[in-house]
Structure 1
Amino acid sequence: MDFHVTSKDQPTPISHGEDPSTSTKTAQSMVTCMYQVHVGSHWRTVAAVWTKNIMNHSLTIFVDSIETNHRQNCKIDLAPWHFWGKKSCKTFEVDGIQIDVYWDLRSARFSGSPEPCSDFYVALVCDEEVVLLIGDLEKKVHKRIKSQQSAANALLYFKKEHVIGRKSFTTRAKFDKHKKDYEIIVESSMLGPNDPEMWISIDRNILIHITNLQWKFRGNQTVLVNKQPIEIFWDVHAWLFLNPGSSHGLFIFKPGQANLDHDKDDSSQDGTEENNDSSSNTSQCCLFLYTWKIE
């Protein structure tokens, strides 16, 4: 697959910290990752938005302006008819600060999401420092641009994904920046002995099983994943009572504190106790999963 880059001359008017994809109303595969990145002596919000539909597959990088209520952006089109842009770079400015975007998507692997899962990188460089690195080819980044990693590490704090499916929805999430990506699968059945019902699995372990879903279409439960509490919220009213494709189910995965005393005595991975104080620390990422069910 080949790639082509374009950019917009005018900045995008989005308020600070706002997800630039929130105005999307149509069902399409989309992943939005929000980062805190140290650029030009300020911490700024940087959003990476991967989008795929019938006509388009692209990545857009948005960078907050401190001086104005706008975001500058750089768009990379993952277009199969362009042969020269699969490894390239682009330069733009935010508040007079030059930002270079380097990428290599020649060998990128995809697993059903518009966001690659491995063998790629997208790097933001400012003042000869890599201030944000997306992907798993860190050595190739530094070899190519001969820059040093920034002393202030970027932080992924928010991920939002729209997934389209019939009975099963899959995504990946990193709940702690020091740990691996977890595979998350949401499955449903509208027919069966416990009709309708739903399962939520993390790394192939079923942690939540809801029967009689027509009465329990909204709820929350705390589970333990490698001794870390994850509070899971769900709302699948649209699956049961609205026309397919007209709206979505919503799942929120919110990491809690890993050192809570009541978790130490629970050896099960399937915790069910209520977590009244699940505020996450600065190294944790909250996942919002929007599931569009089609027939």
Structure 2
Amino acid sequence: MRDFPSCFGENAVQIADSSSSTGSKTAQNLVACVYQCQLRGRSCLITLTWCKNLMSQGLSVGIGDSTNQSLCKVDIKPWLFSKRKGSKSVKLHDSTNIDIYWDFSSAKFGSGPEPLEGFCFAIASDRQTVLLLGDMKKEAFKKTAPTPMPGNAVFVARREHIFGKKVFYTKARFCDNGQTHDLMIECDTISTNDPCLIIRVNTKNVMQVKHLRWKFRGNHTILVDGLPVEVFWDVHNWLFGTSVGSAVFMFKTSMLHWSHSPRFRDSQSHPLGFSLILYVWNHE
């Protein structure tokens, strides 16, 4: 088996809201997304880490260069107990000035830590938008840029933490602007002497690994939307670790079919493709 690619060093799938299969569904508490952006004509990586606990929710923003060297990190205070609307100016290590603007005052949330609608988040430099998220773009442009300009940010990586017992769910798109699929991972490591791993896409079995105690790590290629998707898995901690140990899954596709797209022509520092990385906690 090949080594797992780096969670954020390459590219990622786009994900919708996710949940678990516990009796009372446990909301995931951490989602990290990485965007490849252009900052003053140079490629940079912007990482947004959304977190949620019983008391509050929060957002951490990290900016790095194309070599993953950190340029700055900004923590936005939990907005359940502080103002949900604000802005901040930051000077990067290379003396570049950026402005961060957010408005979560009307945000609606699902089971995860990310807002679903009624929000905006923007990063700008020299009055040009670098990254813009949310459905309140007009409000963001008033703060970040004099005239609306199409963004050049590309969603390149995502990591999710999901909790459950035997069955775990999420939603994913395996290509840019592609169809959203229901993704299910099923694995019973407690009630059987010979655990089996099953992965379904839109309720269809696409992969089954028997004799899991001997095959707790591996990779296999499946087809989704006619595209080859390579699945990597590591369930060692589920089988031989603690009862609440995590497994790791990666779903990686090749984007060579879209290499003609202008969005990816300048992505020289990152191989073309999407991948989804899941940390799945078998929570008993």
Classify the TM-score, shorter chain: 0.7 to 0.9
- TM-fit CA distance, 1:137: 4.0
Cα RMSD for the two superposed structures: 3.4
**Structure 1 residues 81 and 254: alpha-carbon distance in aligned structure 2, compared to 1, 3 A threshold:** same
Unaligned runs of 5+ in 1: 1-16, 20-27, 261-279
1:285 aligns with 2:274: yes
Paired position in structure 2 for 1:100 = 99
Equivalent of 1:248, from 246, 249, 260? 246
- TM-fit CA distance, 1:239: 0.8
Q: Which amino acid aligns with 2:49?
A: V
3-state DSSP class of the match of 1:178? coil
Q: How does 1:119-158 map to 2 (within 5 A)?
A: 119-142=118-141, 145-148=144-147, 153-158=152-157
- TM-fit CA distance, 1:210: 3.1
- TM-fit CA distance, 1:250: 0.7
3-state DSSP class of the match of 2:156? strand
Alpha carbons 1:231, 1:253 under 8 Å: kept: yes
**Structure 1 residues 100 and 77: alpha-carbon distance in aligned structure 2, compared to 1, 3 A threshold:** same
Q: Quick check: 86-95 or 211-220, which moved more?
A: 211-220
Alpha carbons 1:113, 1:171 under 8 Å: kept: no
Q: Give the length in aligned residue pairs.
A: 248
Alpha carbons 1:228, 1:258 under 8 Å: kept: no
TM-score where L is the length of structure 1: 0.70
CA distance in structure 1 between the aligned counterparts of 2:100 and 2:123, rounded to whole angstroms: 5
CA distance in structure 1 between the aligned counterparts of 2:183 and 2:146, rounded to whole angstroms: 35
- TM-fit CA distance, 1:48: 0.9
> In the TM superposition, what whole-angstrom CA distance separates every residue of 1:239-295 from its partner, at most 9, and x where no partner exists?
1111122x32010110125759xxxxxxxxxxxxxxxxxxx963x332211112121
Q: Which amino acid aligns with 2:175?
A: D
Paired position in structure 1 for 2:159 = 160
1:230 aligns with 2:229: yes
- TM-fit CA distance, 1:236: 0.7
3-state DSSP class of the match of 1:179? coil
**Structure 1 residues 139 and 152: alpha-carbon distance in aligned structure 2, compared to 1, 3 A threshold:** closer
Paired position in structure 2 for 1:89 = 87
3-state DSSP class of the match of 2:109? coil
Q: How much identity, in percent, do the aligned residues show?
A: 32
Unaligned runs of 5+ in 2: 1-7, 11-27, 259-269
- TM-fit CA distance, 1:220: 1.8
CA distance in structure 2 between the aligned counterparts of 1:258 and 1:69, rounded to whole angstroms: 27
CA distance in structure 2 between the aligned counterparts of 1:111 and 1:167, rounded to whole angstroms: 22
Alpha carbons 1:33, 1:48 under 8 Å: kept: yes
Paired position in structure 1 for 2:174 = 175
Q: How does 1:209-228 map to 2 (within 5 A)?
A: 209-228=208-227
TM-score where L is the length of structure 2: 0.73
1:47 aligns with 2:50: no
CA distance in structure 2 between the aligned counterparts of 1:204 and 1:135, rounded to whole angstroms: 30
Alpha carbons 2:122, 2:140 under 8 Å: kept: yes
**Structure 1 residues 97 and 150: alpha-carbon distance in aligned structure 2, compared to 1, 3 A threshold:** farther
**Structure 1 residues 141 and 52: alpha-carbon distance in aligned structure 2, compared to 1, 3 A threshold:** same
Q: Quick check: 154-163 or 112-121, which moved more?
A: 112-121
**Structure 1 residues 172 and 125: alpha-carbon distance in aligned structure 2, compared to 1, 3 A threshold:** farther
Paired position in structure 2 for 1:64 = 64
Q: Which amino acid aligns with 2:152?
A: N
CA distance in structure 2 between the aligned counterparts of 1:63 and 1:257, rounded to whole angstroms: 25
3-state DSSP class of the match of 1:141? helix
